[in-house]
Structure 1
């Protein structure tokens, strides 16, 4: 790609990311005095990627109970649902939210009905989202909430988030007000239709945006020890109440779409970052899947793409920087960790990674840098993950590695 073509591509990407938000509050979560407390990046329903899911078939006369951990305290909350990848309108018969009592159980006395413009039911057009009315349920930071959705009619394939690293539950019939877990016998490791939970709050959020290294593949199931979780813990330990939102999407690429792994980062940045309420800072960690996707070993879910260059990836990063700055959002660049030893490693791909990392560190175009590469690299062999931080595939960190990533973020630069 020529310099002129790259310049044109950056301008086109940035322009697409800067389309004005819709005035409707359901379409524009920034409306009102809300701050994001939890988020999941939506993806297209597909065959199972890492785990079996209910996304391909969807739901009919079933209740889906999902447990999430909110990152901010507030006296009120609202729940956001997404039909981003639906091909027909989604009819939600009813929904509730309450405090988790562990597993699929809900603490007695905490179940609250969700309403949408005063109605228990809502129809969400294909490609759209809906935000509930305010719910009077005070929450604290790091508290677990349970959201239950009942679909009387058939939904068809479900917009979802595959890599939840948490358990969701399913029961036959309307179980919206069940406090016990007995009816919820079916389990899944994904989230469905649930896009976000917002609370009334003052402190702007930090959004972590990236691929499986942000989503948390290799972290401990159910333990909330992904790098964004650990970053939130570091902030809380300093008395900082800013929520940290995880907009990671396993397998995601910066520059190209994947049938299974979601829209390219330059396309979903607006929905998953800029559309979140009261975003103050975003940390970007993208690019390794673009490099791996142009190497041998690509799959149906990750089809091969033309060999990506460092200049291509830098152009994509610049589009995100331009869009964030235009919205007044601070943007931190994360360097790409090493992956030598992974089955898709090549020397050429690693040269691209190192060139991109050098640009992130030295160009000054990001407002700050989180050097995940140096935090995870083996000092004796910097092209590899440190053995104690390696999940085992030489690409993803384990829980200790995710903690090291969180410690690589300078809290004073957020």
Structure 2
């Protein structure tokens, strides 16, 4: 194996096509620490490596280029992460060195080394732990890395649900790695489903889905306004659908409406599919994994509903919402409308006017604003 300078290698990586900002990077201290802590295991088991939620490819490509891993199996929740990994692999001459998988048994079968970026929620970590403990080799070592300020003792407890030996490494550059060995027999508890009698629907969620089985206050604000949203619409899109609450509510209230839910998160798509099935609407709601409705035809939709995110990981970024607004503008027919809910302090109305068209306020309170934007 030819020695590769880590700094020079990582300098080639980019976030493209993900959002960019001064505080967002393609490679961070956690990526570097994970690879260093797992170096001995990577060298010992180069053909049995799995990477989970690699943001933009640093872990996957670093394991190959710096530690000789081969045939790395990868699962990334976000589609833009997959696209960034593919672009970085091409940029560094590593196309074909990894394979993509769902979060399932095929991903983990025979795995001896698993590298994972710590997810934002304990439920997401719990599902990760269950899949690894149930599917990997009994001698597997799971490395979970994150920024110290975002890691809690609760993460150790969740890891201990699936592993007999859990310990933390020393911190470096404000990052730390949790190491777990000795998988326990575990059963998957996902998706979790909850009935919301007040809304007349059941919500199902995988671990990494935003809000889980809850219906967040922003979504509730938009749900309350939806009866007035393009009443004669024949087609609708739930853009960034999450667990599918808006898509299911629209389809349930309007028997003649055809609805598509789209989200770039694999966990969200799996959750929305389960929510649609739980509410008996599989014949009228289709769920697609894509980025900002990129797979849908131009000028093909009467109504788009959206509760846009405002975080990229833990960083606040308006660019995520703007990308969704641009996607809505592209798929809406002239005269079609985007109904959007967002935190009242955010300056989204100007962006909606600029990107989509004339925008009116539907409802507003100190926390949430609902607007309707007409495609010109």
The two structures share one fold, judged by TM-score above 0.5: no
Between structure 1 and structure 2, the one with the greater Rg is 2
Normalized per residue, which structure has more helix? 2
- Structure with the bigger RCO (C-alpha within 8 Å, sep 6+) is 1
> TM-score, normalized by length of structure 2?
0.31
